[in-house]
Structure 1
Amino acid sequence: MTFDAPSPILTRLAATSLVIGGVLFALYQFVRPFTDTAETMASTAWLASHLFAIGAFTLITLGLSWLPQTLRGTLGHRSAISAVIVSVLGIGLTLPYYGAETFMLRFVSQHALDTGDRSVVALADTLHTDIVATGLFAVGLLLLGAAAVLAAGAVTKSGHASVWSAAPFALGFVLLLPQFFTPQPIRMVHGVLLTAGCVLVARTLVRAGRTTSRATNEPVPV
């Protein structure tokens, strides 16, 4: 059985998505205000940083979606498929919470500043303590961590990357949930770690695409 070679253009686009997504996540950690007051939640920095996070998760998931194609014919192919499926489920549960933080809290905070009624800012605490909202968010982050571990395992088993070069990507996503309970400097370091992981996986994606292109007529293991 033969398979088509991955498109070099799409492979580079996927790799670029991973790199940009990693950079956006670091920007999210560096730009985000770390005090949840009416002034900070109504600020441009609050809006921009959360949009960076939404863009980061979207672009990273988009980049991973091309991983199975580049790992066709390797031992990492099936793990790559699993990584894509789990990452889509994870982002589906994660982004609604970010949407609420990005827009609802900003609109509520702006209303508080305009009217002087600071009581409405308590809605922020309602969002942060709601069991359904935070529960789905936590599950989404855990799924993204699992997807990253699967992706790291896929590129390692494929022979296109070592365990050490794939580890930062997996570790960055596994720490997604715990890092929310750490101070700002640690969260910034986490953002840099995740960026580095995305760059390494992007490099592996390009390298794997080139190798697979040279092996288009080799049989695919089943």
Structure 2
Amino acid sequence: MSTPTTTRHLIAPTIATGVLMAGYLLLRPYGDVEQGAAMAEAFASPAWVAAHILGALALASFARLALRVADLGDSTTARIGRFTGLAGAVLVLPYYGAETFGLHAVGSRALADPGTLELVAPIRNQPAALTMFGLGLVLLAVAAVCVGRVLGRPAWPLAATMALVLPQYFLPPFARMAFGVATLIAAVILVQHLWTAADSERVDSTAPVDLEPVR
């Protein structure tokens, strides 16, 4: 028999989303915004692989949060968030795999043979991969809006940052790093609210949870 989902179950995926997204954007090498040796060194760096794994896990963690929110309250908005969150994560992860491991292999070879960097554009711009990635991020943005509506005002900062994951890819490195920090701060804001709500649940399991659900 499964344990009913409570507010406490939202805390872990919220923390993971913030910490992992910040880690991804702060640790990621940004030499790929240049050309030649700087690009090869960025791709070949172990930090490239580690950071992109964190980024993929951050998006998966947010999808997990959307699922937990739907388990907590069975509103139409929550159900839409569950579907779009999980579908979005499934669609973006293959592209992250190519970006993480494919470009790392290309960069490692390009340190000795710079001509190998010609493979970067075909890997990144493959039509099916780009379509899946873009659609997945749009679905995650929809999930973010749903999570914000269900959980209310404390969730909106995190919902806003996760809805803007797609456009942040076009920002310069310093702005992307700031975006990662903003996501972490937004997660902390939500966790503080969830922790208070979870304490209230422990005191009185029959008391309504102050999460402003949408019906």
Q: What range is the shorter-chain TM-score in?
A: 0.7 to 0.9
After TM superposition, the score normalised by the length of structure 2 is 0.82
**1:70 corresponding residue in structure 2:** 72
Q: Which consecutive residues of structure 1, in runs of 5 or more, have no partner in the other structure?
A: 157-161
**2:24 corresponding residue in structure 1:** 28
Equivalent residue in structure 1 for 2:146, among 145, 150, 158: 150
| Percent identical residues | 32
Equivalent residue in structure 2 for 1:105, among 86, 103, 109: 103
Q: Distance in 2 between matches of 1:5 and 1:107?
A: 43
Structure 1 residues 199 and 112, CA gap change in structure 2 (3 angstroms): same
Q: Aligned pairs, how many?
A: 200
Which residue type is aligned with residue 16 of structure 1? A
Is 1:16 the counterpart of 2:12? The answer is yes
Structure 1 residues 61 and 201, CA gap change in structure 2 (3 angstroms): farther
Equivalent residue in structure 1 for 2:89, among 67, 91, 102: 91
| Aligned residues of 2:23 and 2:51 also touching (Cα < 8 A) | yes
Quote the offset at 1:17 in angstroms: 2.2
SS in 2 for 1:65: helix
Q: Distance in 1 between matches of 2:124 and 2:183?
A: 24
After TM superposition, the score normalised by the length of structure 1 is 0.80
Structure with the larger RCO, 1 or 2 (CA within 8 Å, 6+ apart): 1
**1:213 corresponding residue in structure 2:** 205
Q: Distance in 2 between matches of 1:84 and 1:43?
A: 35
**2:60 corresponding residue in structure 1:** 58
Quote the offset at 1:95 in angstroms: 0.8
Q: Which consecutive residues of structure 2, in runs of 5 or more, have no partner in the other structure?
A: 33-38, 209-213
| Aligned residues of 1:6 and 1:213 also touching (Cα < 8 A) | no
Equivalent residue in structure 1 for 2:50, among 48, 69, 81: 48
Q: Distance in 2 between matches of 1:192 and 1:151?
A: 20
Which residue type is aligned with residue 56 of structure 1? A
Q: Which shows bigger deviation, 62-71 or 166-175?
A: 62-71
Which residue type is aligned with residue 137 of structure 1? F
Which residue type is aligned with residue 112 of structure 1? A
Structure 1 residues 205 and 86, CA gap change in structure 2 (3 angstroms): farther
What pairs up with 1:149-188 in 2 under 5 angstroms?
149-156=145-152, 162=153, 165-188=154-177
Which residue type is aligned with residue 138 of structure 1? G
| Aligned residues of 2:66 and 2:143 also touching (Cα < 8 A) | no
Cα deviation per residue 1:73-132 (whole Å; 9 max; x = unaligned)? xxxx3312211111001111111111101101111221233xx22222221111222222
Q: Distance in 1 between matches of 2:5 and 2:187?
A: 20
Q: Distance in 2 between matches of 1:79 and 1:7?
A: 17
Q: CA RMSD in A?
A: 2.5
Structure 1 residues 91 and 173, CA gap change in structure 2 (3 angstroms): same
Equivalent residue in structure 2 for 1:138, among 116, 134, 137: 134
